Structure 1
Amino acid sequence: MRERWSAGVAGAVAAVLLAAGCTFGGGGSGSLAGAASTSGAPTPAVPGSGAGPRFLDVGECSSFGRTSSTEVSCASERAAARVVARYDGAAAGGPVCPENTDFVLHISAQDVSYDEDGDGRVPQGYACMRNLQPPHPGDPGRGGGPRTVVGDCVYGVGDGRVRETACDGSGRREPQYKVVRAVDTRAKCPASTALYVQLGGDRPVGCAVRL
């Protein structure tokens, strides 16, 4: 089975609401080759081996390339990132990736020579990836990754939107706000909150202070 991927946008754009009551809105492709068993039964998966019955399952690794990427053994010198979570279906409206995710691979069938469960089709899905080596743009304050998390900094981009930037000022734009707490309702934010940032997950409200 060959599959196509595209990387998610590194700088997530978050939906926000000003504490004062004003409303703000809303952070490559190639071919991937999966492994198949020819014995008629799935090959037992060795975590990180690249030989499991499911393409890019949790614990498996991918390589990076200028025009393509493949599933490889995590022990390979070509391995660049590991799957920390894997979901079927479209990312929009699906489960959110873990906070340590550096980027997202969106997977769709391109040329099906076998399928995972024998039903004649391969489901679309997405893999939450973390780089095996630094940098880790998804870490708090680094200015990237598919999610905004506690410790991240943001700046306004107009039209009621904010975008992540590095908290240390090394990004293209200086940080204006920093998310200091994640809560389930705005009422639980501290009095110093200047901005409410939509985070997603089970604590969807980010309390941000002005820098």
Structure 2
Amino acid sequence: MHVGNRWRSPAAFAAVCAALLTGCQSGPGGGTGGDRPDGQAATVSPAPARPSGYGAVFLAVDECSSFGRTSFTEVSCAGERAAARVVARHDGTARDGPRCPATTDFVLHISEQRPSADEDGDGGVPRGYACMRHLQPPHPGDPGGGGGPRTIVGDCVYDLGDGKVRETACDGSGRREPEFKVTKAVDARSECPASTALYVRLGGTAPVGCARPV
């Protein structure tokens, strides 16, 4: 789930919607933990040894991971343990690096490792993060899905108070009913339609989300 601040129209401009890239999610419901889709923290560690054919880089683009309660491992995308695919992979931290694609379901943060056996034989796996997409629905990162590390057009939110909002499923299947829906992304608040009741910072090239009551 994405948590952020809100801007009430026509109230003062406030910082909103810092993406929860410090976590991972792996299922349709809310909550916390390494195997649940709410954007909460999880760390992945490379397996000390594995069959060849998974690629030279740990969790590279188009490779797949399994889901586990305490760790994630790279597995063959054709295997029965495969649960999510890497759609983008970057070194460093998600806070400082490129943003994940809009419909990313969750983010895996990869801690730097010095295993006795690693994927390319250099003695280490660098710190980085992988933007993940479930192999099967549901996809919380889709518009209106109620989760994912980013808030995008088509997503719904509810008021947390104290100038903050949280994303929830637009179909009402989440733990909270939706109160607002982001209908447009624009450069500035002045470009939002008259029906806008909430301004949400989305980031990117069109950073302001225009949200109306639902």
Q: Same fold (TM over 0.5)?
A: yes
Q: 1:22: Cα distance to partner?
A: 3.5
Radius of gyration: which is bigger?
Answer: 1
Q: CA RMSD in A?
A: 2.3
Q: 1:109: Cα distance to partner?
A: 2.2
In the aligned structure 2, how far is the partner of 1:106 from the partner of 1:79?
Answer: 18
Specify whether residues 34 and 23 from structure 1 end up closer, same or farther in structure 2 by C-alpha distance, changes over 3 A only: farther
Number of equivalences? 189
Aligned to 1:12: 2
Query: TM-score normalised to the size of structure 1?
Result: 0.80
SS of 1:127's equivalent?
Answer: strand
Partner amino acid, structure 2, of 1:31: S
Could you tell which deviates more after superposition, 102-111 or 55-64? 102-111
Structure 1 stretches of 4+ with a deviation exceeding 4 A read 34-37, 114-118
Map 1:4-83 → 2, pairs under 5 A? 11-26=1-16, 28=34, 29=42, 31-33=45-47, 49-50=53-54, 52-83=55-86
Q: Aligned pair 1:189/2:203, yes or no? A: no
Contact residue 12 and residue 144 of structure 1 kept, 8 A? yes
Contact residue 84 and residue 127 of structure 1 kept, 8 A? yes
Contact residue 159 and residue 165 of structure 2 kept, 8 A? yes
Aligned to 2:107: 104
SS of 1:98's equivalent?
Answer: coil
In the aligned structure 2, how far is the partner of 1:130 from the partner of 1:200?
Answer: 21
Aligned to 1:86: 89
User: Would you tell me which structure has more strand in proportion to its own residues?
Assistant: 1
In the aligned structure 2, how far is the partner of 1:107 from the partner of 1:77?
Answer: 23
In the aligned structure 1, how far is the partner of 2:92 from the partner of 2:166?
Answer: 26
154, 174, 199: which one pairs with 1:151?
154
* Structure 1 unaligned residues grouped into runs of 5+: 1-10, 38-42, 44-48
Q: Aligned pair 1:136/2:139, yes or no? A: yes
In the aligned structure 2, how far is the partner of 1:172 from the partner of 1:63?
Answer: 26
Aligned to 1:8: none
* Alignment deviations for residues 5-40 of structure 1 (CA, whole Å, 9 cap, x no partner): xxxxxx011333122124555353453327789xxx
Partner amino acid, structure 2, of 1:60: E
* Alignment deviations for residues 36-56 of structure 1 (CA, whole Å, 9 cap, x no partner): 89xxxxx9xxxxx52x11111
In the aligned structure 2, how far is the partner of 1:158 from the partner of 1:16?
Answer: 9
Specify whether residues 117 and 193 from structure 1 end up closer, same or farther in structure 2 by C-alpha distance, changes over 3 A only: farther
Specify whether residues 99 and 35 from structure 1 end up closer, same or farther in structure 2 by C-alpha distance, changes over 3 A only: farther
Aligned to 2:30: none
* Structure 2 unaligned residues grouped into runs of 5+: 21-33, 35-41
Query: TM-score normalised to the size of structure 2?
Result: 0.79
